[in-house]
Amino acid sequence: MWSIDFMSDSLVDGRKFRLFNVMDDFNRESLAIEVDTSLPSLRVIRVLETLIAERGCPTAIRCDNGPEFISHKLEEWCNHENRKISLQFIQPGKPMQNAFIERKNGSIRRELLNAYLFYSLAEVRARSEEWRLDYNTERPHKSLGYLAPLKYAELNKNQIALSTPASGNPSKLKRSGSRIKR
């Protein structure tokens, strides 16, 4: 299961930018932080395709009901026969249903976005990548037995292999339109 979400901020000159965050729920690893002034659904798909090429396909992606996530393009991409990724939408106004990434967003806000003044997107991208690498390699997580995400994944390789079905997704949730019935 991967979780995805957006954040917004602005440069010193007032120009707005967004961050698209992708997280692996198993080990809390920050898989990507994409930064730009506009991040439409095709850009979201491009980031996810890059991650899948590097790591393999997740069984499901958890997200809110933002316009980039409820687009037919993302749903069609997820439903492609080579992927079959289940989109799991949280209920509107219930961010804690996507708690792992909301916690990460809070850390990014405190430790990065509120801590620095940014003059360019290149600066935001560089600092975001530094933050992401530190988060994955150095930061202990209480829920992971005080290990950093990459160390936890390394120690639990067998569990990762066992949790990934060889024939694709395990059980499928029933869909109604682009929403998932629970």
The residue extents of the domains of the chain are: 2-164
Task: Indicate the residue type of 19.
Answer: L
0.85 cut: is pTM over it?
Answer: no
pLDDT tens per residue, range 37-81? 999 999 999 999 999 999 999 999 999 988 778 788 999 999 999
The CATH number of 2-164 is: 3.30.420.10
Q: Please, which pLDDT band fits residue 160 given cuts at 50, 70 and 90?
A: low
- Residue 69: the pLDDT is 83
CA distances (Å), 100 to each of 24, 159, 169, in order? 9, 19, 22
pLDDT at 167: 36
The DSSP 8-state label assigned to residue 140 in this structure reads -
